[in-house]
Structure formats: structure tokens, C-alpha cells
Amino acid sequence: MSSSVEARHDHAAKLPRDEHFDVAVVGAGVVGCAVARRFAIEGAKVAVLEQAADIVDGASKANSAILHTGFDAPPNSVEQSCIEAGYNEFLQIHERLGLPILTCGALVLAWNETQESALDGLIKKAHRNGVSDVEPLSRQQILEREPNLSRSVRAGFQVPREYVIDPWTTPYLYLLQAIDQGAQVFRSTSVRGGSLEADGWRLETSRGPLSCRLAINCAGLYGDLLERALLGSAEFRIRPRKGQFVVYDKAAHGLTGSILLPVPSKTTKGVVVCPTIFGNLLVGPTAEEQKSREDASVERSTLASLMEEGERILPQLKRATVTATYAGLRPASDQSDYAIEYRDDRSYCRAGGIRSTGLSSALGVASLVYEHYAHEEHRQTSKPEVSWPNALPIAEAARRDWQTPGNGGIVCHCELVSRREIEEALRGPLGVKSLAGLKRRTRATMGRCQGFYCSAEIAEMTARHFENPLAQPGRSE
Ligand SMILES: Cc1cc2nc3c(=O)[nH]c(=O)nc-3n(C[C@H](O)[C@H](O)[C@H](O)COP(=O)(O)OP(=O)(O)OC[C@H]3O[C@@H](n4cnc5c(N)ncnc54)[C@H](O)[C@@H]3O)c2cc1C
């Protein structure tokens, strides 16, 4: 990466006062990264403004990482069509971006009579949503496929194309591709307001003004606040919904070969038992409405009931070890569908309220937003040639860097993260600036010991890179 390219994305850099962007994407969660990618690929001049030190630091940092088919989405909803489009595009591009996929499929399971009676309607809904390979399974077929499952399962159906992906490398590569197509990314840059002038927006940010023709609000949990700051009022309200998870150690990964889904309710997809691309097993999430947009704490009693639920589904989980727990906040809203809106009169677009399915739908949301824009006769006639960046793979099944010569040795032994992987994560236009960012890029400190053994070495390696350097043993400054 050339130093001039690095400088353009430097945290300390002032925003370019003399440049006028076609679009400013506010928020670098998975939706903002996908939107930036689409516009940049189409030849637009794109700026991305993210308030956090690293990308993917909001709702997108903590999800179940399922690539949904949309089998249970409300038919004819914007959500359903974005999931379908996003799912299909992901399958088209993931190999070229080197993005891993666990083609495990899902089973929807009924554990009581009421749930069993809902199965037929769910299968019909899946077929209406175009997921035509959803098929019923008898109790015996389910147990043959998943022999570790509790014998109390009654019936279910399979969703063969429901997969698991990498929730962090995916948006990272979307944004890296946008950068390769000329997008500029400004992290640690909060948009506070702005004024609409003759040639578009003059956005007011924590790093000074930035001008653009179209402002795209991808601010996730803060989407309504940003809308109010820009337009004077907000036509939707974010209602954060917390989801807590328990992460089981890698030894539990083999207990199921499928994503195990419950029969969903109106408000939640319910508690899922799900393999991860990193070789763990997840149980969660809960669905808890709350006021706070920040509070992603976990509660002991809730985690205990999640574990109980996991053990009810897979009895052998009783003997499995828990490696970690976490919670994510869904940017749900007061609207029953995604809150996507395009305001020509205000040169403004909102991709908001992308609550439980945004990892799957992001590419679809991006295409939808771009189509609105292109209708406004902004479609670029000459598109740049598309480049396809890659990242060092961190999925469990991939050939990892520790298996390759010249990696500098292993730093994090639990997750087998090499020195070279950490150095690579610190470099380039999206070089990480926080421990949280490093975890998402490499998985360092996320294994059994949770950083007990490698933190000191990581503190030393990252000292000159992080906005808030980690404490180093033996140093008091
Ligand atoms: C528990 C849970 C489980 C889930 N499971 C799945 C799943 O299995 N599959 C799936 O497809 N989806 C899943 N999701 C949904 C998915 O994670 C979300 O839909 C998605 O992350 C929303 O992304 P976003 O980009 O809209 O929001 P965010 O990720 O919140 O991004 C918004 C960004 O905007 C930034 N920002 C906000 N305000 C400003 C400002 N004023 N200036 C600059 N920057 C700003 C924030 O810092 C943030 O980085 C799950 C979500 C949760 C919480």
C-alpha cells in the first residue's frame, strides 16, 4: 500500500476541504461498507465517515453470522427482497474476495405441539419467498442427520441454503474494495449536522466540514439521531434490541453439523444453536428491548438460561466449556419493515432500521439505494475496472497463516494468530486502531485464555498504532 493512500485514510488527517464528493456514507457498519462498495464500483466519488476508531464497531460487531435465505422474512417486504438480493450477490462474489462460507444448512425444529402445527405455514411462507428447497423432515430423519440432538424433538424442516459466514472480514473486504475503487474513509469522524446548499450538503463533523451531493445515513443504532441532526426531525425511531450469546469451546463445534433454529415468533427468530466459521458453537441470541444504544452488557441469569436452552437441544453441551459471552444490539425501529427512504428534495437517503438480518441483506440494501440514486440520472457512464482485494483468512477451515512459512511465529496460541497477521492488520488504509478492531481482524485474544498469555506481546506490537495504547507490563507513564 503506498504511503499516499495510507495518508488519505489517516485518523489525524483533516477532511479534504477542497473536494466535493458524490456521496458521503455515514457509518461503517456492514450496511455502510456495502453501500460504499456499490457506489464506488459504479464510479461515484465516495467518502465514508465513521465515528469509531475502527469500522464494524456498532450493531455489526456482534451477530450470529448466519447468511439468511430470507425463508421466514415477511413476504413482499423490503427486508425480504434485500435479503434475497444480498444473499445472491454474496454467493456470486465471495470466492473472488476470498470470503469463507460454511455450507451447513439449517434445521427448523419443533419441540411441542403448537410449534409443530406452525411448521406447515412456515414451509409455505418459505416457498412464497422463493426458497423452494425448504422441505419437511420427520423426527427420525432429523435424528439421523443430527444424532446428538435431544430425543424430544418432534418434527421440523430443512433450509439447505442457510449458511454461516465471517461477520467481520466480510464488511472489511467490502470497504477495502470500495477504497480500491477510489473511496476515502475517515474514521474517528462523527457527523454532527449539516446544511443543504445549492450543490449539496456541507456536513459538519468532528474533523471539520465535508461537502457532498448526497448524504446516505447508515448510522445503525444512531440513525434517527443523525436524521434529526441533518433534517431537523426524524421520521422513524430506533428501538435497540439486545441479543446475548454464549460461545462454546471448539470441542463443542462437532455436536451439530447444522444451524439449529427454533420456530420463530413475531418479534424474534428465537434462540439458535449455531456453528461459527471460527470453529466454535454459539447459543443465542436473546431479544430484549431496551432504551440504551450502548449497553451491550451480559447478565449471569440470562446466560444461565441460554445454556439451559442449549443443553435442552443438545444434551452433550452439559459437558462442554464456555469460552466467552457477548451481546449485540439490533438497530430495530418503530417500523415493521426496514426503514429505507430516499428524499430527492433533501439529497438524503436513509438505510435505517436494518435490524436482525443486515449481514445477509447489506449487498441488497446497497443495490436498492444505488438504484434510487441512478434513477436521478447520476449513473456514471465510465466505470472503473473492478479490483478484488483479499485478506489473510481467519476461518477455521481455511489454510491459515501459521501454516505458511515466514509468518514470524505464533502470538495468540489459542486462536493460532501469527505475528505476520497482526502486523498486516495494523497496516494499510484500514489498519486497526483498537484492540476490539484487532480482535475482529485476526481473532487474537478471543480464544480459551481470552488474552491471558498474549496480551503483553500484543501491547508491545500495537503501542504505536492504537488510539488508546494498551497498558504494557512494567511500564508506567
Ligand atoms: C444479536 C444479533 C444477532 C444478529 N444475527 C444476524 C445474523 O445471523 N445474520 C444477519 O444477516 N444479521 C444478523 N444481525 C443483524 C445485523 O448484525 C445488523 O442488521 C447489522 O449489523 C446492521 O448494520 P448497520 O450497518 O445498519 O449498523 P451498525 O453496524 O450499527 O453501523 C452503523 C455505524 O454508524 C456509525 N455511526 C453512527 N452515528 C454516526 C455519526 N453521527 N457519525 C459517524 N458515524 C456514525 C456507528 O459507529 C456504526 O459503526 C444480528 C444482529 C444482532 C444484534
Domain positions in the chain = 3-61+168-237+335-378, 106-160+239-330, 401-462
pLDDT tens-digit map of 41-97: 999 999 999 999 999 999 999 999 999 999 999 999 999 999 999 999 999 999 999
- CATH topology agreement for domains 3-61+168-237+335-378 and 106-160+239-330: no
Residues having CB closer than 6 A to ligand 1 are 26-32, 49-52, 57-60, 62-66, 68, 190-191, 218-222, 226, 243, 285, 328-331, 354-360
pLDDT at residue 7, as a whole number: 43
Our mutation pick for probing the ligand 1 site, out of 15, 33, 51, counting the most ligand atoms within 8 A of Cβ, is: 51
Q: For ligand 1, atom 4, which residue shows the shortest CA distance? A: 63
CA of 64 to the centre of ligand 1 (A): 12
pLDDT at residue 423, as a whole number: 96
Q: CA–CA separation, 461 vs 477, rounded Å? A: 17
pLDDT at residue 267, as a whole number: 64
CA of 153 to the centre of ligand 1 (A): 34
Determine the atom of ligand 1 nearest the C-alpha atom of 220: 27
Determine the atom of ligand 1 nearest the C-alpha atom of 274: 8
CA of 59 to the centre of ligand 1 (A): 3
CA neighbor of 222 nearest in space, from 328, 294, 298:
294
Residue whose entry in the numeric block shows the C-alpha cell 497482526? 422
pLDDT at residue 10, as a whole number: 54
Q: For ligand 1, atom 3, which residue shows the shortest CA distance? A: 63
Q: For ligand 1, atom 1, which residue shows the shortest CA distance? A: 243
SS3 content of the chain, % helix, strand, coil (to 5): 35, 20, 45
Q: CA–CA separation, 28 vs 185, rounded Å? A: 9
CA of 81 to the centre of ligand 1 (A): 19
The third-level CATH classification (topology) of the domain covering 3-61+168-237+335-378 is FAD/NAD(P)-binding domain (3.50.50)
Neighbour tally for 336: CB within 10 Å: 11
Neighbour tally for 292: CB within 10 Å: 11
Residue whose entry in the numeric block shows the C-alpha cell 482485494? 389
C-alpha distances (whole Å) from 421 to each of 177, 276, 431, 450, 472 are 19, 20, 12, 18, 21
Tell me how many degrees the CA angle 161-164-166 measures, rounded to the nearest 5: 140
| Beta strands across the sheet bearing 163-165 | 66-67, 163-165, 101-102
Determine the atom of ligand 1 nearest the C-alpha atom of 329: 53
The third-level CATH classification (topology) of the domain covering 106-160+239-330 is D-Amino Acid Oxidase; Chain A, domain 2 (3.30.9)
CA of 350 to the centre of ligand 1 (A): 14
CA of 355 to the centre of ligand 1 (A): 8
- Residues in the chain with pLDDT < 70? 1-13, 266-267, 376-381, 473-477
pLDDT at residue 475, as a whole number: 57
Q: For ligand 1, atom 21, which residue shows the shortest CA distance? A: 60
Our mutation pick for probing the ligand 1 site, out of 15, 31, 333, counting the most ligand atoms within 8 A of Cβ, is: 31
Residue whose entry in the numeric block shows the C-alpha cell 438524503? 348
pLDDT at residue 9, as a whole number: 52
Q: 186: which DSSP letter?
A: E
Our mutation pick for probing the ligand 1 site, out of 35, 207, 298, 357, counting the most ligand atoms within 8 A of Cβ, is: 357
Alpha helices in 150-266 (DSSP H): 169-180, 223-231
Neighbour tally for 353: CB within 10 Å: 27
Outline where DSSP puts E strands in 172-307: 184-186, 191-197, 200-205, 208-217, 241-248, 259-262, 272-275, 281-284, 288-289
Give the pTM: 0.95
Q: For ligand 1, atom 26, which residue shows the shortest CA distance? A: 220
Cell of 188: 474517528
Residue whose entry in the numeric block shows the C-alpha cell 439505494? 369
* Cβ neighbours of residue 331 closer than 8 Å, sequence gap 6 or more: 58, 59, 220, 221, 223, 238, 240, 352, 353, 354, 355, 358
pLDDT at residue 11, as a whole number: 56
pLDDT at residue 338, as a whole number: 98
Q: CA–CA separation, 33 vs 420, rounded Å? A: 25
CA of 58 to the centre of ligand 1 (A): 5
Determine the atom of ligand 1 nearest the C-alpha atom of 32: 25
* Cβ neighbours of residue 394 closer than 8 Å, sequence gap 6 or more: 166, 169, 278, 400, 417, 421, 441, 442, 443
* Cβ neighbours of residue 122 closer than 8 Å, sequence gap 6 or more: 71, 72, 108, 157, 263, 264
* Cβ neighbours of residue 163 closer than 8 Å, sequence gap 6 or more: 66, 67, 101, 102, 103, 104, 105
- For residue 351, what are the β-bridge partners? 340
Our mutation pick for probing the ligand 1 site, out of 64, 268, 368, counting the most ligand atoms within 8 A of Cβ, is: 64
CA of 331 to the centre of ligand 1 (A): 6
Our mutation pick for probing the ligand 1 site, out of 38, 63, 68, 349, counting the most ligand atoms within 8 A of Cβ, is: 63
